[in-house]
Amino acid sequence: MIRIRFPDDRTERRGLGCLAGRFSFKSMASGVTFVPDGALPALAQQGIPFMVEGMATYEEIIQAVRNPTAAVV
């Protein structure tokens, strides 16, 4: 998975719409989005600007998948 960031909220919504149904991804409240390698050319072909921040670490991916706001039972 690759860490990317969109330049603004409008572009992020457009980018996530392009990814939905085609690629698995995880978007964080911090603005970082984790995408597979194959998603980068798809975003570029659609003319959606994004910045690559680098490869995601295993720990980042695990943390992104966990739900930190889960209710205490």
So what's the pLDDT on residue 73? 55
At residue 67, does pLDDT exceed 80? Answer: no
The count of other CB atoms within 10 Å of the CB of residue 40 is: 15
So what's the pLDDT on residue 69? 56
The pLDDT tens digits for 20-43 are 999 999 998 888 999 999 999 999
Which pTM does this prediction carry?
A: 0.81
Task: Out of 41-45, 50-54, 62-66, pick the least confident.
Answer: 62-66
DSSP conformation letters of the chain:
-EEEE-SSHHHHHHHHHHHTTTS--EE-TTSEEEE-TTHHHHHHHTT---EEEEEPPHHHHHHHHS-TTPPP-
Q: Fill in the amino acid letter for 12.
A: E
| Average pLDDT of every residue of the chain | 88
